[in-house]
Amino acid sequence: MRNAYFTIRALNILNEDGIEKYSFLYEVKADGREKIRRTLLTELGRIADEEVLLRDAKYICDGKPNTVDTLDYLRMTRKYHGSYDEVYNHAQIKN
């Protein structure tokens, strides 16, 4: 449930910016099937700052680095720019 929340958060932010720019992360094929890089989207959705999230999504889509290196990069980014996990945890405690 928690990972799904962050994946959806990332998709919503990317969608607002124009999802077609991020086809490496999310794409609907001609036959209607979806290509979703869930692990990367989940990690992107954990980044608190939406501008940083968009910047990193563009970096990933432009360079198409391997998943392991990308996950390390995104986790390092969260350390410096804040994690949305803290907001999520706070919301869960209040409910």
Rounded CA gap, 21 and 17, in Å?
8
Over 50: is that where the pLDDT of 95 sits? no
pTM above 0.85, yes or no: no
Over 70: is that where the pLDDT of 94 sits? no
Over 70: is that where the pLDDT of 85 sits? no
User: What is the end-to-end Cα distance of the chain in Å, rounded?
Assistant: 15
Angle 86-78-24 from CA coordinates, rounded to 5°: 115
Q: Give 3-26 pLDDT, tens digit per residue.
A: 899 999 999 999 999 989 999 999
Q: Give 22-60 pLDDT, tens digit per residue.
A: 999 998 888 888 889 999 999 999 998 899 999 999 999
The region, left, alpha or beta by phi > 0 then psi within -120 to 50, assigned to residue 26 is beta
